[in-house]
Amino acid sequence: GGPGPRPPPGCPQRRLGARERRDMQREILAVLGLPGRPRPRAPPAASRLPASAPLFMLDLYRAMASDDDDDDAGPPERRLGRADLVMSFVNMVERDHVLGRQEPHWKEFLFDLTQIPAGEAVTAAEFRIYKEPSTQLVNRTLHVSTFQVVQEHSNRESDLFFLDLQTLQAGDEGWLVLDVTAASDRWLLSRHKDLGLRLYVETEDGLSVDPGRAGLLGQRAPRSRRPFMVTFFRASPSPGRAPR
């Protein structure tokens, strides 16, 4: 790429050696902000069907990529806002609490947040769960409330922090998007702990409903309808790269 004359045709071109190729890849990974090459686990062949989180993220990618050419233009996708990093979290532990008629029913999801980068400002966070039409609660209005599990107790109910409330019909179908942005403030304080999100479903009369009966799908759903969490970040200015 220099201003000097190009070598005449037929001159042997130097090829990168194996170590130089590795060094080159390491440099490019560093530009992309990665300490090393990711090694995702390949899913079993039988389950290599489109999964919910990648499908959603692919839509976001197309929206973000269309905005790449002009940093000064407003984002075409409202959800993106000014975010330049979006992470989806699919690794979770699901717990259901369906005991007796007096206890409130709930469904809880525990997310591993250790992959969240430090120094990134959260602009929004969503928990996405698919709802099928409920065949058991016909023509009923349902209230879905979301809480963050702040502290569990062995001898009493856990401490909960209210996040979101959505009202829908039992016959509705589609992705339910729950705003959990308020939980992000606590991530910075307890990054070593899993994030617990607990969902309660109630009828208009205040009766607690099993979220599964209401049509909310958990981890045992088909891959394209499994719940996941999405977090939008605005990157802080990158620290200067260490000189090589």
Partner 1 sequence: ALRPLKRRQPKRTNELPQPNKLPGIFDAVHGSNGRQVCRRHELYVSFRDLGWLDWVIAPQGYSAYYCEGECSFPLDSCMNATNHAILQSLVHLMKPDAVPKACCAPTKLSATSVLYYDSSNNVILRKHRNMVVKACGCH
Q: Which residues bind partner 1 (CB under 8 A)?
A: 1-3, 25, 28, 31-33, 37-42, 53-54, 57-58, 60-61, 64-65, 68-71, 84-91, 112, 115
CB-nearer residue toward partner 1: 83 or 142: 83
CB-nearer residue toward partner 1: 41 or 192: 41
Planar angle of CA 24, 26, 31, nearest 5 degrees: 95
CB-nearer residue toward partner 1: 167 or 236: 236
Shortest distance, position 122 Cβ to partner 1, whole Å: 15
Shortest distance, position 191 Cβ to partner 1, whole Å: 15
CB-nearer residue toward partner 1: 53 or 201: 53
Q: How many Å separate Cα 199 from the centre of its chain?
A: 17
Which residues contact residue 80 at a Cβ distance below 8 angstroms, ignoring those fewer than 6 apart? Answer: 60, 63, 64, 67, 86, 232
CB-nearer residue toward partner 1: 141 or 236: 236
Count of beta carbons in the 10 Å neighbourhood of residue 53? 19
Shortest distance, position 78 Cβ to partner 1, whole Å: 16
CB-nearer residue toward partner 1: 65 or 99: 65
Task: Report residue 63 as tokens.
Answer: 């929206």
Compute the Cα dihedral for 102, 103, 104, 105 and give only its sign.
negative
Q: Which of 126, 128, 134, 107 is nearest to 199 (CA)?
A: 107
Shortest distance, position 108 Cβ to partner 1, whole Å: 20
Which residues contact residue 74 at a Cβ distance below 8 angstroms, ignoring those fewer than 6 apart? Answer: none
**Residue 172 and residue 155 in contact, taking contact as beta carbons nearer than 8 Å:** no
Shortest distance, position 61 Cβ to partner 1, whole Å: 4
Q: Which of 144, 117, 149, 116 is nearest to 131 (CA)?
A: 144
Shortest distance, position 5 Cβ to partner 1, whole Å: 9
